[in-house]
Amino acid sequence: MATNLLREYIRELMKEDGILGKYAWPSAIKNHPMANEPDTEIEELLYRQLYNHFGAISALSDEAVSAIQQILDSGSYNTTFNRCNSGPVLRGMRLPVSWLEQYAPGALEGLPAERKDPLDWGGPVSISPMTYKSEGKFGNVSSWTRFWKEARRFTTLQVDGTVPVILHSDCSTGYFMHTDGFKRYQGGRYKDEFGIKKLNLNAHEREILLFGDCTVTAIEINATKQDIEGLKS
């Protein structure tokens, strides 16, 4: 379905009882008085796709992303769906030297010459503001956090030719969503019919989702100049 038609379809649903009915996934909330309220078609799609996203199984579809954004824009179901409108966010990942040379040359220049304590990242270094685009295996959605230790965890997987980095942004520069509201959902019809015991098995990561782009203004690089030269040779 074309994006504009999809958005119009979702808007029409929201004029009725709401895109997710009166309550979001009530059967998956313990002792909810409306646990027998039937889920809408999109409600089921979102639950299953969010589960796949949180479990790093597959990407959210365009339909799911469009529905989530319209829910957020409407302010509906705000005990579950909440924008992150401001405040610092971090993304831990590994990047090739060529990316760092293009976007963070000053940070490379400031790296120590020799081996240091691997736990000492040295703190963030400001860079010229650049646009970070969510893309890759999980489509135009990427994972961020407010917590440095959580960001660092995602830099530890060894990938040849890459360097561990933490990107710094702010929720005010993109379309970000908190995920804390999803951690209470477990069991119900989704366990019985689809074997989904809990919507977000990785709620401890305290993930913040970015839909699309944001602006990165600082970076941390856990490497030495010697490491960088070794990767370039």
Residues 44-77: tens digit of each pLDDT: 999 999 999 999 999 999 999 999 999 999 999 9
Domain boundaries, the chain: 3-80+186-198, 88-174+213-232
Give helix 3-15 / helix 62-74 axis angle, nearest 10°: 40
Residue 2: pLDDT over 60: no
Whole-angstrom Cα distance, residue 144 to residue 146?
Answer: 7
> Angle formed by the axes of helices 41-54 and 62-74, to 10°?
110
Check: pTM over 0.85? Answer yes or no: yes
**What percent of the chain shows pLDDT beyond 70?**
92
> What integer is the mean pLDDT of 172-200?
96
Residue 146 has pLDDT above 70, yes or no: yes
Closest C-alpha to 70, from 49, 35, 89, 42: 42
Query: Residues 8-29: pLDDT tens digits?
Result: 544 544 445 689 999 999 999 9
What percent of the chain has pLDDT above 90? 73
Q: How many angstroms separate the first and last alpha carbons of the chain?
A: 48
Q: Which residue has the higher pLDDT, 113 or 210?
A: 210
Q: What tens digit of pLDDT does each residue of 79-99 get?
A: 999 999 999 999 999 999 999
Q: 202 with 157: CB under 8 angstroms? A: no
Contact 144, 210 (CB under 8 A): yes
Task: Output the average pLDDT for the chain.
Answer: 90
pLDDT, mean of residues 120-137: 90
- Of 6-10, 125-129, 147-151, 170-174, give the lowest mean pLDDT range: 6-10
What's the pLDDT at 14?
47
pLDDT of 120: 81
